Amino acid sequence: MSTDIRQKEIQRILEAYGLDQREIAVLFVLIQLNKATASEITKQASDIPRSSIYDLLQSLQHRGFVSSITENDKLYFQVEQIEHVIDILEEEKRALTEQQNAFRSVADVFNQMKFGTAYKAGVRFFEGKKGILAVHREIINAQKTLYLIGDLAVVTKTFPHAAVEDNFAELKIQKVLRKGMMIPNAAGKQYLRNAGLHEYHHVKWLPENMKLDTDTLIWEGHVAIIDYTQHLNTVVIDNPTIYRTFLAWFEMMWDSVSEEITQKDLK
């Protein structure tokens, strides 16, 4: 590949990265000179005003393409290894990923807050696995007592790792109470052995012969019903009156079972 072709390819990549023509010209001059003062660069890049050279060099330094050293009381500039630019891009990528994750974690709460209240009464629909996980994130971010009715054997058909990975583990860290009514089966016991039973996580068994194809999640002002059949969708009801009704039903079921499950019961 000829020098001209290589230079054009490098120029194309630099332009795509966001460098303007003057920055690229200064960079190519420095590549040729290896190390130079601003005055020496100005002589080679005669079409660029001297007053602009320092600004262009500063921009190139900020982007990681150029570094400076002082020798014999003179300030010299030189081209950095391209790996240094790659390292900067990797750091920017990590920072961007962290920002994306931060916004994802509060997206549902943010959408509720824009209405000026904790939530706007209504009904929301979610489809597929992503919809279910979005509801789970909303519950964790809300940091309110969670009441749950479900069958882990049904859940694990969609989320095989659910029995060993607790989606609501953060509630314990935040000291948020969680109460659950579950079908007594192997998947449920495995889940509880991994999630643990403690002062912030209380569970009672539902009748063994009871059949559930849904999860019902109840937290302050909201009720989510997750359909784990072939349709795999979630309905979230944002309504304080309906929430209180579901909570009353839950407490009635809870009180109908005399004993809570203990770690000893899971052996």
pLDDT tens by residue, 189-219: 989 988 889 999 999 999 989 999 999 999 9
CA-CA distance, 246 to 252, in Å (whole number)?
A: 10
CA-CA distance, 235 to 126, in Å (whole number)?
A: 6
Q: Is residue 194 part of a domain?
A: yes
Residue whose tokens read 């549902």: 108
Q: What percent of the chain has pLDDT over 70?
A: 91
CA-CA distance, 62 to 72, in Å (whole number)?
A: 24
Q: Is residue 217 part of a domain?
A: yes
Total domains in the chain come to 2
pLDDT of amino acid 214 = 94
Average pLDDT, the chain: 85
DSSP letter for 117, please: S
Q: What is the domain range of residue 157?
A: 107-266
Size of the chain in residues: 267
Please give the C-alpha separations between residue 60 and each of 27, 44, 67, 247, in angstroms, as whole numbers: 8, 17, 8, 61
* 95-124 tens-digit pLDDT: 888 888 777 766 655 655 554 445 567 899
The whole model's pTM is what? Answer: 0.56
Model confidence band, residue 261 (pLDDT cutoffs 50, 70, 90): confident
Domain final residue, candidates 85, 120, 141 = 85
pLDDT exceeds 50 at position 188:
yes
CA 17 to chain centre: 26
pLDDT of amino acid 63 = 83
pLDDT of amino acid 160 = 87
Amino acid at residue number 49: P
Assess whether 117 and 55 both reside in one domain.
no
Q: What CATH number has the domain bearing residue 124?
A: 3.30.870.10
Assess whether 20 and 67 both reside in one domain.
yes
Assess whether 63 and 117 both reside in one domain.
no
* 55-98 tens-digit pLDDT: 888 888 888 888 888 888 888 888 887 776 777 778 878 888 88
CA-CA distance, 144 to 140, in Å (whole number)?
A: 8
pLDDT exceeds 80 at position 7:
no
* 32-50 tens-digit pLDDT: 888 888 888 888 887 888 8
CA-CA distance, 174 to 200, in Å (whole number)?
A: 9
Beta-bridge partners for 19:
none
